[in-house]
Every structure is written in structure tokens, then in C-alpha cells.
Structure 1
Amino acid sequence: MDSTSLRERQKERRRARIYTVAIDLFKRSGFQETTATDIAKAANVSRGTFFNYYPYKEAVLLDYGSEIVERLQDHAVARMREGAEPLTVLHEVWDRLAEESVKERDLIPPLAHELLNPDPERARTAYQALPLAKVVELILRPLHVTGRLRTDLSLERMTNLIADTYLMTALRWSAYAHDRPLREEMRVALNLLLGGIFRSG
């Protein structure tokens, strides 16, 4: 057996164990209350080993968010192959995103903070790990190609605005507005934005 591939598999298994343990602790004990030392102890690794795989605690959340975005993209690709209308697919993805966000409401603020991190390198890493705008772009591209969207803004700019709106809507809801369902809040925000990106006439 190739020793290099064996080491790589061992590293992947160790990273997966650290990730699984960390997410479980975040959900049970709270993100802020869980330390890197707690995670390392529960995963049976040293604190230094934890930091070899995740340079900071929030980096674990980026893997978690990346999994969610990947599932959303898989759904969008499958539905569009079936011939579903782009706006129907976008609303489906939006609703699934709301469901995920409600299910893990306590993880939204620290995850959002990484995207807004004052350290540009960490913010860039978060943006690359959570390419929600790319999923929206994939869905809206057929509408852009057929000339149904406005032409004075690039597709990338419009999809970034939509993704940013999710972030701020979910963050505000998580922190303050528990009297209204997040799905409803997100639908209102999305429909307002969609009204602004279609060509008039």
C-alpha cells in the first residue's frame, strides 16, 4: 500500500473527526462557549493538531456552510436539468436556505461574521468557501442570456447583491426578529430585489 496515500487518508479521517466533533459541540454547547481546547479534547487530538487542520475556530463553520451551499447547488442543477423555470428554482433554493438557517440559528451570526470579517484574508477565505452568489448566478444565467435582465449591471454584481441580501436578512432575523418566520422575511427581500433586476418594458 502506498504510504503517501495512507497518510493522506489518515489526515482526511482525522479532519473529518475534528469537524464532526466540533459541529456537535457547537450545536450542544453553543459556538461562543466551545473552545478549540474543548474540540481537541473531544476529538482525542492535541490543541496543536486542531490548529493544523483549522487555523481558527470559525474555519470549522466554513466547512459546514460549504456543505450547505453545495447541497443547494446540486438541487439547482438537478431542477434546471429537469427544465424547471429559473425563478421557480431560485425560490426553491431560497426556501431551503431559510430552512437550513432556522435549523441552525445560533450558527448564523459567527458564520456571517466571517464573511464580514475586518481581516481581508479571512473575509476572502469565507467568501470563497461560501459561494452562494455562484449558485444564484447559475440559476439566473439563462434569464441573462435571453435578455430578460437589465443590462446596465453585470450578472455577477446582481447575484452578489442577492447573496449579500440573504446574509443581512438572516443575520438580522437571527439577532432580533423572531416574531416573523425567516422564510417570509427572505421571500420579501428576494422579491424586492428581483423586481429591480428585470428589464422594464
Structure 2
Amino acid sequence: MDLSSLRERQKERRRARIYSVAIELFKRGGFQTTTATDIAKASNVSRGTFFNYYPYKEAVLLDYGSEVMDRLRDHAEARLRDGIPALNVLYEVWDLLAEENARERDLFPPLAYEVMNPNPERARTAYQALPLSKVIELILRPLHQSGQMRPDLSLQRISNLIADTYLMVALRWSAYGTERTLQEEMRLALNLLLEGALKRDTTRS
């Protein structure tokens, strides 16, 4: 192994350690109260080294969100390959995401706020790290191609609307809570959206 490859592997290991330590601290003490200095100290690196890997604290959450999106995409692709109907797959992914968000309730709001960050560069970075609309587009593509969705709405537009709705409903639930679980709230929202996006004879009951 040459020297450059060794350095790259060392950097990857250091980043992975910082990430795992940071997520553990967020879960244990809360995102808002955990500082970059706390993370650096627990990771046995300097504060400057932390910022070399993560330019701001929320960037750690983007890695977490990206991992969640990768798992959802892998699940969707596997289920579609197995011949599971697209709507069933969409509801499965919807439920899995709701379960993850409910379990990590304190991590979701700061992660979601990054998508709406007033700094356009940070908002763009968050949007690219959290491609929920792309996962939804992947799932709904067979329905769109077979003409089971409204022809006056593009697949991208429908997918973006569903993803944006998830974001807002989950944020409201995380902040205020309701009598329903997040999974129940999400299913209600998804049912309403699909009634508008699908032709009447394909809408789930």
C-alpha cells in the first residue's frame, strides 16, 4: 500500500470515529447542548481537526441522514426487484422513515432545518445529502410509466411534493406532537397526496 492510500484510510477511519462519537453524544446529551469541542475531545482530536472533517456541527447529521436514505433506497430497490407493487413499497418506506424519525426524535428537527437553511450553499448540501424525493421517484416510476398517475403532473413534481410534505409533517410532529403516532400522521398525509396524484382506480383504500 502506498503512502497516499494509507493517509486516505487513516482519514476515513478518523472521520468515521468522529461521526460515531458525535452521534452518540447527540443521542445522549442532545444535539443543541453538544458542542464541537465536546465532540473533538471525546474523539481524541483537536477542535480544528473536527472542523476539517465537518465545517459545521449540522454536517454530522447530514452523514446520518444520508445513511438513512441509502437504507431506504436499498430497501425500495430490493422490494421492487421482488415484484412487490410500487404503492406497497412506498408505504413500507414511508413507515420505515417514520419509525426512524420517531426513534431519533431529537435528531430530526436540526437535520430538517438544514434543508431550509437561509444559507443557500448549506441548504443545497443538505438537499443533496437527503434525496428523499429521489427515493420516492424511484418507487413511483413504474406507476408513472404505466399511466396509472395523473398525466398533467410530472413524476419529479409529485415526488418533490410528497417529500416536502413528509418534511413539514415530521417537523410539526417532532416539535408539538399529536395524539397520533408519527407513522399514523404520515400515512394520513400520504393517503391524501396519493388521492390527488393517482387515477381513481389505482388509489389504495
Return the TM-score normalized by structure 2: 0.96
- CA shift for structure 1 position 178: 4.0
1:104 matched to 2:108: no
Output the CA distance in 1 between the equivalents of 2:177 and 2:19: 30
1:175 matched to 2:171: no
Output the CA distance in 2 between the equivalents of 1:200 and 1:154: 17
Partner in structure 2 of residue 64 of structure 1: 64
Secondary structure, counterpart of 1:106 in structure 2:
coil
- CA shift for structure 1 position 91: 0.3
Partner in structure 1 of residue 33 of structure 2: 33
Output the CA distance in 2 between the equivalents of 1:179 and 1:136: 27
- CA shift for structure 1 position 191: 0.5
- CA shift for structure 1 position 29: 0.4
- CA shift for structure 1 position 198: 1.2
Partner in structure 1 of residue 138 of structure 2: 138
How many corresponding residue pairs? 201
One-letter code aligned to 1:174: S
Partner in structure 2 of residue 50 of structure 1: 50
Output the CA distance in 2 between the equivalents of 1:17 and 1:179: 38
Q: Which runs of 4+ in 1 moved over 2 A?
A: none
Gaps of 5+ in 2: none
Per-residue CA distance 1:125-177 (angstroms, 9 max, x = gap): 00000001000000000000011111212111110000111111110000012
1:23 matched to 2:23: yes
Per-residue CA distance 1:39-67 (angstroms, 9 max, x = gap): 00000000000000000000000000110
Secondary structure, counterpart of 1:105 in structure 2:
coil
Counting only pairs closer than 5 Å after superposition, residues 85-164 of structure 1 correspond to structure 2 as 85-164=85-164
Output the CA distance in 1 between the equivalents of 2:149 and 2:132: 19
Return the TM-score normalized by structure 1: 0.98
Secondary structure, counterpart of 2:31 in structure 1:
coil
1:192 matched to 2:192: yes
Per-residue CA distance 1:73-106 (angstroms, 9 max, x = gap): 1100000000000000000000000100010000
Tell me the C-alpha RMSD between the 2 structures. Answer: 0.9
Output the CA distance in 2 between the equivalents of 1:105 and 1:141: 30
